[in-house]
């Protein structure tokens, strides 16, 4: 695979579009499209994906070590991110992620973010 390097940081919320809703909303697959700043970008290729269940901040110390080890392997409620590097129809490359952390008592599902635009080297 070609090496990808950051072109510029974006760090903005997006809407993810799925042709079929994910079976597990807190462990989503790569979306089929994203909406950023009012423009829809159809994803034509998933280049890479990974997840990170690391507990950060005060959450890193609020579990017994054996439970923390299990949580770091499979996640725990509201902790973790799912990352995707994708190519969209116009050829641009993006890294996006789903953050499982709830935004409050009324918004418990987590949110999608466009992390950065990438460049092929």
**pLDDT higher than 90, residue 14:** yes
The pLDDT, as a whole number, for residue 26 is 77
What is the C-alpha to C-alpha distance for residues 76 and 78, in angstroms, rounded to an integer? 6
- The overall pTM is greater than 0.95: no
pLDDT tens per residue, range 61-119: 554 555 444 444 454 555 789 999 999 999 999 999 999 887 655 666 789 999 999 99
Parallel, antiparallel, or unpaired for β 33-36 and 4-17? antiparallel
Please, are residues 41 and 90 in contact by the beta-carbon 8 Å criterion?
yes
Domain borders along the chain are 4-120
Contacts for 32 with CB less than 8 Å, ≥ 6 apart? 17, 18, 19, 42, 43
| Element spanning 68, H or E | helix 65-74
The pLDDT, as a whole number, for residue 47 is 97
């Amino acid at each position: 695979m070609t090496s990808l390097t950051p072109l510029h940081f974006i760090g903005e919320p997006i809407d993810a579009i799925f042709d079929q809703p994910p079976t597990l909303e807190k462990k989503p697959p790569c979306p089929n499209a994203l909406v950023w700043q009012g423009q829809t970008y159809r994803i034509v290729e998933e280049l890479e994906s990974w997840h990170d269940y690391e507990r950060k901040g005060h959450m890193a110390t609020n579990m017994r070590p054996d439970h923390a080890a299990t949580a770091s392997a499979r996640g725990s409620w509201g902790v973790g991110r799912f990352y995707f590097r994708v190519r969209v129809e116009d050829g641009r490359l993006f890294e996006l992620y789903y953050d499982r952390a709830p935004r409050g008592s009324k918004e418990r599902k987590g949110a999608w973010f466009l992390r950065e635009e990438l460049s092929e080297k």
